[in-house]
Amino acid sequence: QVQLVESGGGLVQAGGSLRLSCAASGRTDRCYAMGWFRQAPGKEREFVAAVRWSGGSTNHANSVKGRFTISRDNTKNTVYLQMNSLRPEDTAVYYCAAKTTAWGTEYDYWGQGTQVTVSS
């Protein structure tokens, strides 16, 4: 089993920055990649970014490219999402997730989520 705990959410003004953290524990050796997703009220869950543990390759959604950066610290089993130039439309609950296989798009473990609210 893998446990994921997000932190770092909060209230911020438009144009500001936040850094989210996701600490992984348990069978972290089973994790192939980590991802960040977000869900706003009345909206479907949306992919934000992902990073592979071994190679560190990343992928970012077009909506956040140039503003958000995902990274990971293998020593600490922690993944980060640095969010700059925040906009009101970034307001959502942000979830950390882990996938255990290289194939498919499914993520197997999820954190509890952390609220990010951007004021205009």
For 11-42, write each residue's pLDDT tens digit. Answer: 999 999 999 999 999 999 889 999 999 999 99
Q: Answer whether residue 104 shows pLDDT above 90.
A: no
pLDDT digits 0-9 by tens, 63-88:
999 999 999 999 999 999 999 999 99
Contact 68, 48 (CB under 8 A): yes
Note whether 16 and 114 are within 8 A (CB).
no
Q: Report the C-alpha gap between 119 and 1 in whole angstroms.
A: 37
Residue 105 has pLDDT above 90, yes or no: no
